Amino acid sequence: MIVPGDSSTMVKSQILTKYILQIIPLIVATIMLSACSTPQKSNSHASWKNTRYVPYNSQNTFETRFIKSKILKQYTGWKAVRYRFGGSSKKGIDCSAFVQLTFREQFGINLPRSTSAQQTVGKKIQRIKLKAGDLVLFRAGPTGRHIGIYLDNNKFVHVSATTGVTISSLNDQYWKKRYHTGRRVLHNSNRD
């Protein structure tokens, strides 16, 4: 029997109050999260499945970060794998095979195998307009041609004959003297 003013009633009341104060934030959070997941009607008849672009102003920044992260993911998996002319495995790889594998594995794009064929794909880009994912071509290497993938801030990923899969700078004297052209393979109307 509960008697008003009884200490056991007061303890039960405090426990109940404590329980209620703990449960209220959970209820509020649940309501807010369920509101976030409620689908909203769209006035557009277009299907998002067929849309390839992010519909907001920072698309270029988002897209650049996405492309750069994919290239760095590939680089991380291949870092320091040695150069081997004609190679296309972790036992040894050449520059054009690395570019081909990166585009296939990270972007689902099939590029030709050789540097000479890769230098004809996409659209020619001036050096000052390079963006993440652009191909960078040089007059260097055993065949007189070399290729890498531009990251940003004049950095590019490639397979060096001396250090294997690595990141270098276009500003290094060696690469600066041998730079030939850039090619844009990953493009949409906002990247061009």
For residue 141, give the nearest of 120, 121, 159, 167 by alpha carbon. Answer: 159
Residue 82 has pLDDT above 70, yes or no: yes
User: What is the tens place of the pLDDT at every residue in 56-77?
Assistant: 445 578 899 999 999 999 999 9
Q: Is 187 an active-site residue?
A: no
Active-site residue among 36, 45, 158, 180?
A: 158
Those residues with Cβ within 8 angstroms of residue 133's Cβ, 6 or more apart along the chain or in another chain: 67, 68, 71, 107, 149, 150, 184, 185, 186
125, HSE (Cβ side, Cα atoms, 13 Å): 25
**Is 0.75 surpassed by the pTM of this model?**
no
Q: Is 146 an active-site residue?
A: yes
What confidence tier does 140 reach under pLDDT thresholds 50, 70, 90? confident
- Domains detected in the chain: 82-184 (3.90.1720.10)
Distances in whole angstroms, Cα of residue 84 to Cα of each of 87, 141, 157, 164: 5, 12, 16, 9
Active-site residue among 36, 146, 180, 187?
A: 146
The CA distance from 182 to 136, in Å, is 5
Residue 104 has pLDDT above 90, yes or no: yes
Active-site residue among 36, 95, 180, 187?
A: 95
Instruction: For Cα atoms 131, 66, 48, give the angle at the middle one, nearest 5 degrees.
Output: 110
